[in-house]
Structure 1
Amino acid sequence: MSSKTNHKLTQSTVAIDSQENVYDSSRESHIDSPYTEEEKKPFWQRFRFRVDTTGHPPQIFNVTLYLSIFVFGLFGAARGIDEGTVSGNLALPAFIRKFGLSDETKTEHEIATLKSNIASMVQLGSVGGALIAMKSVDFFGRLRALQVVCIIWLIGVSIQISSQSVGQLYAGRFIEGLAIGQTTSIGPVYMSEVAPSPIRGMANCIFAGAVYLGIMMGYFANYGSAIHIPATLSDGSVNDKQWRVTFCTKFIMAGLIFVASFFWCIESPRWLLKHGKAHEAVEKLSKLRKLPVDHPYIIAEISDINEQVMAEKEAARSSSLIGNFKQIVTVKSIAYRLIIIGGGSQVLGQWSGANAVTIYASELFALVGVTGIDKLKMSAVLGVVKFFSAYFAAFFLIDILGRKRSLYIGICGQMLCLLYYAIFLHLVPQAAEGVVENANAKRASTGALAAIFLSGTFWTVGFNSIQYLIGNEIFPLGIRSFAQSIIMVLHFANQYGNSKAMPKLMLAMHSFGAFYFFVGVLCVALVWAFFLPELKGRSLESIEEVFTLPWYNLRRCNKLVPDHSQIHKVKYTNSRGNTGFDHIQFDLEKNKPSIEMVEDETGSNNKSKHVRRSSGEEEDDEKKV
């Protein structure tokens, strides 16, 4: 950091300390409590359909920040457009004839294998892309990595759109997967690093919601193509235009993100500070927050980031691939986060049935009696439902209800919907043949159709938000992009396995058996979710302290480990404040030492010491900047 900023930081700290240097014992009860008076109220009295930004300067929520988040958030559409497009392509007559999906010489199992290979090839490439992201996201930086990936994405799409054989189609889809696999590390990591803590969940859910923007675009592209472009030409040959035109949405999205990144995006200050570019980091953070470089909020945030960077550099003098692998294996806390929390979110989320519903939507609609082009129309409606529910979760749930409550709602709702669908397939198998004559069976068929739509809604509220968000919150800065890349490898490996297995799973277990299996996975997920920590509103740097707790106490982290980060000591008030800046108050009480009594799981009172650093110690830390 520049000497000017360091001088301002020291000057600001001295000014704050000079105004109050006598410990007031009458405040002891306030200090020892990890909750404010507002937080002590019952949940139903505190609930509002808005994010709580109390205490944060209003300038930090600005157009510059939102535009940068918007561009990186759109990156989520890369995966979504492919899933929506391939789902409809598999039902387009021209695509089916072109790539041998209607070949009468092939057996039912051979057709299922070909279909699963086409659908899952992007997921296979995405595994490689996620592995590449382990180094590329940190090597290039978040912004340059985004631009490189857009170019790879366009190359893959170009190969697909000119395909003359199924082999060329595989190659194009694999290369597109190399790009898509990196998007799921670049987008969420960037947004976790630049978003202020009150809207960090919302920012990540913009990425997750963009997946369904892409799916909706892909579904409608196929539906429109099926309506307006005939499958055959006048001479009886295949009209390739019917399926090729659906790839235009990918060109548009990739080009839009690439161009917008040069005008609207700002590099992550956390990445800059990690790579020794302190002056540039302060400058970029100042632009993102719309505050001067010597503002107490900027100083506090940079101090928090720098403290974590210094601690990580002390622990690992050099960052290497082997060193990172060693850290995630030998450090118990990080291993738990990677395997149980991050890995669990991917395994349970991907095998909950949501991916199967998205990619094979047209076939699932056929099982409840929907026929012909109506299958594509219903798929398009499903895309709209998922799109709006994803953004409803982003703006009204994830940072308001919290991560865990949203996950509970999503898992329970998805489980009930898939259970109804499985029971319907079990009791009314003739619906798949389009034969539903009984009035009660027709009503049940309508209910099964609604169950598919609602399962998508609950998925976007629950697992869809968590699977991208959680990995970017729980890991320290030094290995954040590396660990997120490993989690995304698990994400795409499980998605590949699910996409590949689904056609044969429905043959081997019958359609209803596959969905009973998904319901069982969701039951396990409900138990897993109970032990997760609630990280809503915490600064990224304070989350590391949460994982000093034993695994069974993580769910009580907000009671046992309050957020002591510098950024949460800077409060926006209606008065002038004690920092020399209008409306900015530095909370001195949070600097005072305290010992909190917590009750362990056996019921006996044990002293669990959480000693808050004194203002002198914090000043020493600030001088290190």
Structure 2
Amino acid sequence: MLAVLFNKNKLGEDTPHAVLNWRLWYGVFVFGLMGAARGLDEGLIGTSAEQPSFQETFGLDDASGKSEAEKAALLGNITGMVQMGSILGALIAFFLTDKIGRLWATRELCFLWVLGITIFLAAASNGSIGMVYAGRFIAGVGIGQTTVVAPTYLAETAPRTVRGFCVCMFSGAVYLGIMLAYFGSYGSNLHISEKTQMQWVVPNLMHIYFAAIIFFASFLAIESPRWLIKVGKHEKAAANLSKLRNLDVHHWYVQSEIIDINDQLNREREATKGTTWFGPIRELLSDKGNLYRMQLSVMSQLLSQWSGASSITIYAAKYFAMMGTSGEKEKLFATAIFGVVKFVSAMLCAFFLIDWLGRKRSLMIGITCQLIAMLYMAIFLLLDTGVGDEGYTPTGAVKHAAMGAIVMIYISGFGWALGWNSIQYLINSEIYPLRLRALGGSFAMTFHFANQYGNSKAVPSMFISMTNGGTMAFFVGITAIGLVWVYFFLPELANKSLESIDAVFALPWYQIGRRGKELTQNVGGMAENYNSEKDKMDMVENVAEVQPERRV
């Protein structure tokens, strides 16, 4: 199937078909699957909080004596604790990823992930809200690292022509986790008594299953050649790259990648020669191109998280209730189908759009779908303020409008999965140079989780203070701003090697987003600038003669 999808025309004339092999896809499977960590949490915590046993145990039900505002604050604390831990996880991820490598960072984060979830589930026996907070925070430290480690590894090991597809397997796995979480909660609600804690404990065990699969599978994965070159293990890097590309170590494609990686790393080291440990941070903050990269990281996270789609994922059951879906099982079933829509959308984007239609067009199509859907929902909720209230009986026209609003929830999920959620990990994994890639990704994901935490904490209270319709109108405004920002500021980087992307950010700031790829189309890595097989072979030989240390 993959061979058909990635035919010679899509790969490009300068990419040997051997690069698409089982070793590459195995790495994509292992590191892409890490996206399920976030998806499982987002899908499970919101639906777990809807289970009667969970509500009774931790004081979220009516019998607890708390006011609506107090229950909203408590729910925000429970759901947001993973985001708090993830902020710390994203902050330390750049150090661990660069210090111990992509593989050992993966094993370390799986350990923290399992430890935290175990403490969280143990709270079912005594109803300790402190254990819930502690367990979810520790799990968040592990989950937060996945958003740095996995996209970094996937971007570094993927051939440039399918880099978008490979990195988007991570965002696709987010929705695999969400979908399984939704169906797990729906199934437990159907088949496990609401009087037992097992109703929410059983679905949450999926965290441990996924962490175990990733941990043990990582021992058969291949370490990133780019990281190995960065730490001076050149022979191992060449051997690993040869395995990943399924080509002889002296093949021009392998050698040209090694040469380009060394060239970029040498330029970066020369520019920061003699600096202290603070050098990378100073480089990130002082270079104009890096400042533009940081602007992309900040704005992509800010605009995506406050577009409302993340809150719909976490509080999907509540949104369906707002739109008129009644009954616990009906809400959970509608939520489960919502997970399927998002998963299929993310896969469509990864397989058919991201590398061939381009990052920018895919994102703009996704945001447009999301904007139209959320605008409808905002208007509906502003006009009919009683929908979703207990005992409310809608008229025929309102019932049809409510059905349309439910459909719009699915369309908004389609747009989000197609757009922001697929792009936010990809652009941050490919815009930074090798020396700064883990640091830049860590910065982006720290900002990501800070915004997600603020979002998960704020949304329950926003529903009360701003009303449902006002909250949705706020999200519509942010989504519209995001569409304008993408048009003017996001550069198109499809089919460019990681080492050639520097040229885009060397342009004046006002040209990067609109004309970056066009103005740098003839500036790239060595393999991108030679057409025939003989030219490429000669290129490798000539470079090796002049600077033999760059050829391994």
Specify if TM > 0.5: yes
Amino acid at match of 1:553: Q
**Pairwise CA distance, 1:567:** 2.4
SS at match of 1:431: coil
**Number of the residue aligned with 1:143:** 103
CA–CA distance in structure 1, aligned partners of residues 545 and 396 of structure 2? 75
**Number of the residue aligned with 1:40:** none
Highest CA radius of gyration, 1 or 2? Answer: 1
SS at match of 2:239: helix
Contact residue 272 and residue 283 of structure 2 kept, 8 A: no
> Which structure has more helix as a fraction of its residues?
2
CA–CA distance in structure 1, aligned partners of residues 228 and 306 of structure 2? 37
**Number of the residue aligned with 2:546:** 620
CA–CA distance in structure 1, aligned partners of residues 205 and 252 of structure 2? 48
Give per-residue Cα distances to partners, 1:410-468, cap 9 Å, x unaligned. Answer: 11110110000111111122221263432221111111001001101100111111110
**Number of the residue aligned with 2:119:** 159
Contact residue 258 and residue 550 of structure 2 kept, 8 A: no
**Number of the residue aligned with 1:209:** 172
Amino acid at match of 1:110: E
**Number of the residue aligned with 1:547:** 505
**Number of the residue aligned with 1:524:** 481
> What is the correspondence of 1:71-470 to structure 2 with a 5 Å cutoff?
71-102=30-61, 103-163=63-123, 164=126, 165-232=128-195, 239-263=196-220, 265-317=221-273, 321-338=277-294, 340-372=295-327, 373-433=329-389, 435-470=392-427
**Pairwise CA distance, 1:558:** 2.3
Contact residue 376 and residue 405 of structure 2 kept, 8 A: yes
SS at match of 2:501: helix
**Pairwise CA distance, 1:616:** 6.9
Contact residue 52 and residue 400 of structure 1 kept, 8 A: no
SS at match of 1:371: coil
CA 1:375/1:267 → structure 2, altered by over 3 Å: closer, same or farther?
A: same
**Number of the residue aligned with 2:524:** 564
Percent identity of the aligned residues? Answer: 45
Amino acid at match of 2:249: V
Contact residue 308 and residue 477 of structure 1 kept, 8 A: yes
Q: Extract unaligned runs of 5+ from structure 2.
A: 1-6
**Pairwise CA distance, 1:559:** 2.2
Contact residue 184 and residue 203 of structure 2 kept, 8 A: yes
- Larger deviation: 487-496 or 316-325? 316-325
Q: TM-score, normalised by structure 2?
A: 0.94
Give per-residue Cα distances to partners, 1:271-326, cap 9 Å, x unaligned. Answer: 00010000000000000000001111111110000111111121223686522221
Contact residue 570 and residue 586 of structure 1 kept, 8 A: yes
Q: Extract unaligned runs of 5+ from structure 1.
A: 1-47, 233-238, 579-584, 592-613
**Number of the residue aligned with 1:41:** none
Contact residue 369 and residue 436 of structure 1 kept, 8 A: no
Contact residue 325 and residue 331 of structure 2 kept, 8 A: yes
Amino acid at match of 2:311: A
**Number of the residue aligned with 1:65:** 24
Query: How many positions carry a matched residue from both structures?
Result: 536
Amino acid at match of 1:537: N
CA–CA distance in structure 2, aligned partners of residues 105 and 62 of structure 1? 59
Give per-residue Cα distances to partners, 1:565-598, cap 9 Å, x unaligned. Answer: 1122455x7xxx42xxxxxx5298xx8xxxxxxx
CA–CA distance in structure 1, aligned partners of residues 386 and 362 of structure 2? 37
CA–CA distance in structure 2, aligned partners of residues 80 and 50 of structure 1? 34
Q: TM-score, normalised by structure 1?
A: 0.83
**Number of the residue aligned with 1:12:** none
**Pairwise CA distance, 1:523:** 1.4
**Pairwise CA distance, 1:85:** 0.6
CA–CA distance in structure 1, aligned partners of residues 352 and 33 of structure 2? 19
**Pairwise CA distance, 1:108:** 1.0
**Pairwise CA distance, 1:472:** 1.3
Does 1:480 find its partner at 2:473?
Answer: no
CA–CA distance in structure 1, aligned partners of residues 95 and 103 of structure 2? 14
Contact residue 296 and residue 570 of structure 1 kept, 8 A: no
Contact residue 387 and residue 394 of structure 2 kept, 8 A: no
Contact residue 49 and residue 396 of structure 1 kept, 8 A: no
- The CA RMSD over aligned residues, in Å, is 1.9
